[in-house]
Amino acid sequence: MTARAPARLANTMEVETPELVVLSYTIAGVGSRAYAALIDYAICFLIVIVADIGITVFVAKAGGLVRSASASLALSIIVLVQFAVLWGYYVLFEALADGRTPGKMLQRLRVVRDGGYSVTFGASAVRNLMRIVDMQPLLVYGVGIISVLLSKSGKRLGDMAAGTIVVKEDFVRQPVVAADRPAGFSSASQPPRLHAALTASEYELLERFSQRQRDLDPARRAVLAGQLAERFAAALAEYSGATPAGRLGQLYNAERAARAAGSASKSDTGAARERHAIVARESKRWAGFAAKLVDAQKRGLKRLSEDEVREFVAEYRDLAADLARLRTAAKGSEVDEVFYLNRLVAGAHNLLYRRHTITPQDIGRYLFVDVPREIRASALPIVLAAALLFGPAAIAGIAVMRDPGVAEVFVPPGMLDRAENGVRRAKNGDGYIEDPQIFRPVMATSIITNNVQVAIAAFAFGVTAGLLTVYLLVTNGISLGAVFGLYGSKGIASLLLAFVAPHGVLELTAICISAAAGFLLAAALLIPGERTRRRALVENGKRAIRLVAGAALLLVVAGTLEGTVSPIPWWPIEWKLVVSALTAILLYAYIRAGATMKSVSGVVGLGS
């Protein structure tokens, strides 16, 4: 690794590896993250435009009834593509590309978990679904930017809930090795000293001058050389150059040769005397490991043979030990060698502790074992969410039944007009809404994406101590109850019930489950118990994302039923109630799935 020296004013965070070695990560700033976001937004916009154009061209080539059906399918695909890009782009890239989106790759940023570990799918989902709060107000990320600026570790709210940080992976300069020829003033060499004459800070000052002097104006260069010669007068006493610059050149060459040979500064004491000796002895080995690390990062550890992996791990442990010794020798000062070796060890650490590839079996176990288990474990917040949804719904429904005029306060004008038309539709047997069968795919996809976004909001709003989650539940409950009360007051409640029954069980349960996920975040902030709020938020965030996954799965099924089965006007209400009952049975079976599989595995284990 070569190039510029590390930025000393950068915000850093230290973590301890399982090898008990402290690593420093440079926290990414707002500027680099904003540039990365703009790049990713441009890519997302391009994906949507290309998809829309491709779908439009396909529809244009169809004709007649096929064209109408194709248009309906095309619109549904467009809705799904837009939704997938909006919510899936960041989650998938960060989870599958080890914490990097294309924008982050170009800006040399990476998302890692606290402790320096690779980001998991769950952590990526938490931090990115929380964007619905961080991007406020109006998609300008005001909340997220303020959070990053106020947080010592540069975390937006999504990072706090997920337990992640965004780090900067800068290029660093490789330490000088004994074989290097000093460059700067002259090619003259001096025999290595037993002790270097300059301190570390003095040598860095002289080195910066040697590297930049050719770019300086001659007059300015002469002034600076005179000032340095005056400062280093004692060290320059043995040199006889005609000019201050010449004597400084001889001093620089001698000092660099001394450090390359492992000599210590006269001012160094104790462990600090070993610093240059460690660098001189081990820097070539570090450079060799750096090349192996770059190759392993490109190819992946799976491409290495067993012997190569074993050798890589052994060298990583040696470098971790070198870093610990070098930190002690540097006495806490920020030196290039420590920064360089830290980056090597951090890169190898991230590679070795990277999470395993997600398999279909992992996805199946997550959705049908882990998620149902979490739903059972979160019964209390789910019941609380149900009370906040159905309690106001019952109150609003009874109020509107007693006084239909109250409906104007709770029900939108469009819904009031639909209720008026409902009386006629009920007499004619037309069903709750128009049912153009050809547009059912569009209805289904639109309903699914809208409901999933509501579920995401119910979860993410939990970071407001649950206040917005409660508001979402209560307002939706009032609206739901008022609509049922309005239809009941007109004697056509069965019309609305026939529409809601097929999908209602799953949809309303999913909303309660996603709100319970928000309450888990709120509980971490309000009642963390013996845990710190930071730790509680991360632990509850892991639980909450399982609930969101379960709610999303239920909403996909519910949206499909709402877009295809619920609008059918000629199905009698009894048939739709049967569908509702079947969904309730399947829901119960799903929630109990994890417990059933666990008990079966326990029986098998005892039998064996």
Condensed to tens digits (0 to 9), the pLDDT of residues 69-88 reads 566 677 778 888 888 898 89
Instruction: Please tell me the distance from the alpha carbon of residue 425 to that of residue 411, in angstroms, as a whole number.
Output: 20
For tokens 């009360």, name the residue.
485
Is the model's pLDDT at 20 over the cut of 70?
Answer: no
**Chain Cα centroid distance, residue 149:** 18
Least reliable range by pLDDT among 263-267, 359-363, 445-449:
263-267
Phi, psi for 341 (deg, rounded to 5): -65, -35
Is the model's pLDDT at 374 over the cut of 70?
Answer: yes
Q: Indicate the helix (H) or strand (E) that contains 22.
A: strand 22-27
Say yes or no: 254 and 315 in one domain: no
Is the model's pLDDT at 494 over the cut of 90?
Answer: no
> What's the token pair of residue 499?
């529409």
> Cβ atoms within 10 A of the Cβ of 269, count?
10
Average pLDDT value over all residues in the chain: 80
Least reliable range by pLDDT among 126-130, 178-182, 319-323:
178-182
Provide mean pLDDT across the span 338-365: 79
Provide mean pLDDT across the span 147-163: 91
Residue 138 lies in a domain: yes
Is the model's pLDDT at 393 over the cut of 90?
Answer: yes
Residue 604 lies in a domain: no
Is the model's pLDDT at 52 over the cut of 70?
Answer: yes
CA distances (Å), origin 249, targets 187, 244, 252, 272, 282 = 9, 9, 5, 26, 27
Within a 13 Å sphere around the CA of 206, how many CA atoms are in the beta-carbon half? 31
Say yes or no: 539 and 456 in one domain: yes
Predicted pLDDT at 499: 85
- Per the structure, the count of domains in the chain is 4
Say yes or no: 41 and 105 in one domain: yes
Do the beta carbons of residue 151 and residue 160 sit within 8 Å?
yes
Provide mean pLDDT across the span 479-495: 87
Phi, psi for 378 (deg, rounded to 5): -105, 30
Question: With bands split at pLDDT 50, 70 and 90, how would you rate the model's confidence at 522?
Answer: very high
Predicted pLDDT at 266: 56
Least reliable range by pLDDT among 59-63, 84-88, 231-235, 533-537:
59-63
Instruction: Please tell me the distance from the alpha carbon of residue 195 to that of residue 261, in angstroms, as a whole number.
Output: 10
Within a 13 Å sphere around the CA of 182, how many CA atoms are in the beta-carbon half? 26
Amino acid at 492: I
Instruction: Please tell me the distance from the alpha carbon of residue 370 to that of residue 266, in angstroms, as a whole number.
Output: 62
Residue 80: burial class (beta carbons within 10 Å; 0-12, 13-18, 19+):
middle
Predicted pLDDT at 317: 86
Least reliable range by pLDDT among 280-294, 475-489, 539-553:
280-294
Instruction: Please tell me the distance from the alpha carbon of residue 501 to that of residue 507, in angstroms, as a whole number.
Output: 10
Is the model's pLDDT at 477 over the cut of 80?
Answer: yes
End-to-end CA distance of the chain: 54
Is the model's pLDDT at 596 over the cut of 60?
Answer: no
Residue 199 lies in a domain: yes
Residue 606 lies in a domain: no
Provide mean pLDDT across the span 219-236: 81
Say yes or no: 565 and 537 in one domain: yes
Do the beta carbons of residue 210 and residue 249 sit within 8 Å?
yes
Is the model's pLDDT at 271 over the cut of 60?
Answer: no
Range with the largest mean pLDDT of 266-270, 360-364, 373-377, 598-602: 373-377
What letter does residue 199 receive in the DSSP assignment?
-
Predicted pLDDT at 449: 86
SS (H, E, C) 525-590: HHCCCCCCHHHHHHHHHHHHHHHHHHHHHHHHHHHHHHHHCCCCCCCCHHHHHHHHHHHHHHHHHH
Least reliable range by pLDDT among 215-229, 267-281, 381-395:
267-281
Residue 30 lies in a domain: yes
Q: Is 196 helix (H, G, I), strand (E, B) or coil?
A: strand
Do the beta carbons of residue 591 and residue 375 sit within 8 Å?
yes
Predicted pLDDT at 519: 97
Residues contacting residue 444 through CB under 8 Å, at least 6 positions apart: 76, 559, 560, 562, 563, 564
Do the beta carbons of residue 80 and residue 71 sit within 8 Å?
no
Mark which of 352, 371, 398 sits at the end of a domain.
352
Mark which of 352, 367, 399 sits at the end of a domain.
352
Say yes or no: 479 and 522 in one domain: yes
Predicted pLDDT at 186: 43
Strands 264-265 and 164-168: unpaired
Provide mean pLDDT across the span 195-216: 74
Say yes or no: 218 and 307 in one domain: no
Provide mean pLDDT across the span 132-136: 91
CA distances (Å), origin 430, targets 169, 436, 487, 503, 573 = 63, 12, 16, 19, 13
Question: With bands split at pLDDT 50, 70 and 90, how would you rate the model's confidence at 133?
Answer: very high
Say yes or no: 294 and 234 in one domain: no
Range with the largest mean pLDDT of 103-112, 181-190, 271-280: 103-112
Residue 265 lies in a domain: no
Predicted pLDDT at 77: 80
Provide mean pLDDT across the span 491-503: 87
Say yes or no: 83 and 154 in one domain: yes
Q: Which one has a higher pLDDT value, 567 or 583?
A: 583
Do the beta carbons of residue 93 and residue 72 sit within 8 Å?
no
Residue 187 lies in a domain: no
Q: Indicate the helix (H) or strand (E) that contains 16.
A: strand 12-16
Q: Indicate the helix (H) or strand (E) that contains 373.
A: helix 371-377
Instruction: Please tell me the distance from the alpha carbon of residue 481 to that of residue 499, in angstroms, as a whole number.
Output: 15
Say yes or no: 421 and 468 in one domain: yes
Is the model's pLDDT at 405 over the cut of 60?
Answer: yes
Instruction: Please tell me the distance from the alpha carbon of residue 396 to that of residue 569, in angstroms, as a whole number.
Output: 28
Is the model's pLDDT at 379 over the cut of 50?
Answer: yes
Is the model's pLDDT at 34 over the cut of 60?
Answer: yes
Say yes or no: 330 and 298 in one domain: yes
Residue 201 lies in a domain: yes
Instruction: Please tell me the distance from the alpha carbon of residue 124 to that of residue 159, in angstroms, as a whole number.
Output: 9
Question: With bands split at pLDDT 50, 70 and 90, how would you rate the model's confidence at 11?
Answer: confident
Predicted pLDDT at 276: 66
Range with the largest mean pLDDT of 210-219, 279-288, 488-497: 488-497
Residue 4: burial class (beta carbons within 10 Å; 0-12, 13-18, 19+):
exposed
Peptide bond into 137 cis (omega under 30): yes
Q: Which one has a higher pLDDT value, 242 or 560?
A: 560
Predicted pLDDT at 341: 81
Say yes or no: 436 and 390 in one domain: yes
> What's the token pair of residue 565?
């089965």
Mark which of 260, 290, 311 sits at the end of a domain.
260
Name the residue range of residue 297's domain: 272-352
Question: With bands split at pLDDT 50, 70 and 90, how would you rate the model's confidence at 554?
Answer: very high
Say yes or no: 532 and 562 in one domain: yes
Q: pLDDT digit string (tens) for 189-202?
A: 444 455 567 776 77
Residues 226, 227, 231: CA angle, nearest 5 degrees: 115
